[in-house]
Amino acid sequence: MCGMVLGAAADQSTPDATGFVRLTPEQVDWRPVPGSPGVQMATIAGDPAGHGVYVQRVKFPPHVMDRPHWHPGDRYVTVLKGTWYAGIGGTFDPKHAVPLKPGSFMFHPAKALHWDGSNSDEEVIVQIFGLGPVDTVAADPSRPFWVQVKP
């Protein structure tokens, strides 16, 4: 899993004639994350594989989390829906994840190990802002990246 870029989907921020962008929840182009158990991603603005600002959303189905990983640049995460469980460090243990409700915010410093997802019966959606290019590097590439946690 080293060097994987999650969901480098097309930018959905096409400006209208006045330069404004409006995107309703129904217009978000969710795409499956390959190899995941139902995780989806949408690139709202920018190009995470390119240089400059990008905005992505990640949708975690209930009871799906990712293992410890890091990104080369800072990332700013806002919880939009559900309770997102976030842990830091190289040891994956959902019992030690911090539950973050909608409206919560988390800053991920560049190269800092973390892991996160849904550790409940709720679907979770987070929005991520950062500067590209982005990469996702698994702490232990010999282990599966995605975990279906037991209720």
Q: Which domains does the chain have, with CATH numbers?
A: 38-148 (2.60.120.10)
**HSE-CB of 112 using CA atoms within 13 angstroms:** 13
Structure tokens at 70: 């890091």
Q: What is the mean pLDDT of residues 6-29?
A: 79
> Which of 1-10, 88-97, 102-111 is predicted with the least confidence, judged by mean pLDDT?
1-10
pLDDT band of 12, cuts 50, 70, 90: confident
